[in-house]
Homo-oligomer: A and B are copies of this chain.
Amino acid sequence: MSSALVLSIDAMGGDDAPEIVVDGVAHFLKGRKRAVRFLLHGDELQIAPLLARHEGLAEVCDIRHSDSEVDMSAKPSEAVRRARGSSMWNAVRSVKDGEAQVAISAGNTGALMAISKVILRMKKGVHRPAIAASWPAPTGFSTVLDVGANVDCSPSQLVEFAVLGEAFHRAVHGEKAPTVGLLNVGQEELKGGQTIRDADALIREADLDLDYQGFIEGDDISAGTTNVVVTDGFTGNVALKTAEGTARLVGGWLREALTSSLIAKIATGLLSLGALNQLRAKMDPRNVNGGVFLGLNGVVVKSHGGTDALGFSTSLRIALEMADSRFLSEIERNLERLSALQADTVSEGETA
């Protein structure tokens, strides 16, 4: 019991909370042998009857009552001011207090990021946290960051993301020496603006012990050309949602193709038994739902606000992988090098 991992959940975050959250926990537990416990932060009156619907679920969950919750549409600055004591605040607080290894919320992204920064604080050497997404690739997953925390990024922030993303990929996806690429556009003459060129130069100059491969393009993400894809939060967010939209469109076409005629229906009937279900699962964005906040003294996972129980259970799986991983220790080595680099840059600046 003492070795059980504990996940701290904002049970009130998300469009259909707390119902899909509790159902998500139940779905996550199906067939799982490993001991995991859950802290469910939120309105006890709503949560308790939902737990009772699933046999045995109440036994692995502790409800932590909170009177308030963060508004899905609140601005982060406002949200933080009013957040103390809310289900989201308390969920992150449990990680800070050492009661849980990871916090998970499907609530307001900006508020969750702001609250996480206030409570957990940034790791030394990191100026801005990033959100990392695990992206399907032919052989496993690519790690893409930032997918939405920072709209504008300086070159040195992009370098920090490279360090964070490399450690994340090593810890979570088990690659010993992940390759890192910087997202850019096509031909030489159309190469990205000064920020990206500066970031490229900075990573190359720094002795970061990273397998940095230089510029990559949008189609390299799904091709898995590099394990880690570094970009600003605007581009990363657009890319992630574009890929989700494409997968959804193609999924619709596939359904159409498979039900377009009697012969197609018979054929599909044969296929459904096997590989087609796997394909459907691979194409389902709910199976990669969960952005991990990197750069904080503690791990926070953000689920899509509009997800369902299956999607929320994926976030819990990702949270568990993070809790199980050595991410927080993996990252220390690189951050030390980064700090040294930053100190160098400052002293160079002073002497120049």
Q: Which chain A residues have a beta carbon within 8 Å of chain B's beta carbons?
A: 73, 75-76, 108-111, 136-138, 148-149, 151-152, 183, 185-193, 217-223, 231, 233-235, 237-250, 252-254, 256-258, 260-261, 263-264, 266-271, 273-276, 278-279, 282-283
Contacts and interface: CB of A to CB of B under 8 A. Distances in A.
B190 A233 contact: yes
B218 A238 contact: yes
Contacts of A263: 270-271, 273-274
A76 B267 CA distance: 52
Contacts of A247: 246, 250
A199 to B, nearest CB: 14
A20 B53 CA distance: 63
Q: How many copies of this kind of chain does the complex include?
A: 2
A253 B233 contact: no
A249 B275 CA distance: 16
A306 to B, nearest CB: 11
23 contacts: A108-B189, A137-B249, A138-B249, A148-B186, A151-B190, A151-B191, A183-B238, A186-B241, A190-B237, A192-B234, A218-B242, A219-B244, A220-B241, A221-B245, A242-B246, A256-B279, A257-B275, A263-B273, A264-B274, A264-B276, A266-B267, A267-B270, A270-B270
Given A73-B188, A75-B188, A249 B218 contact: no
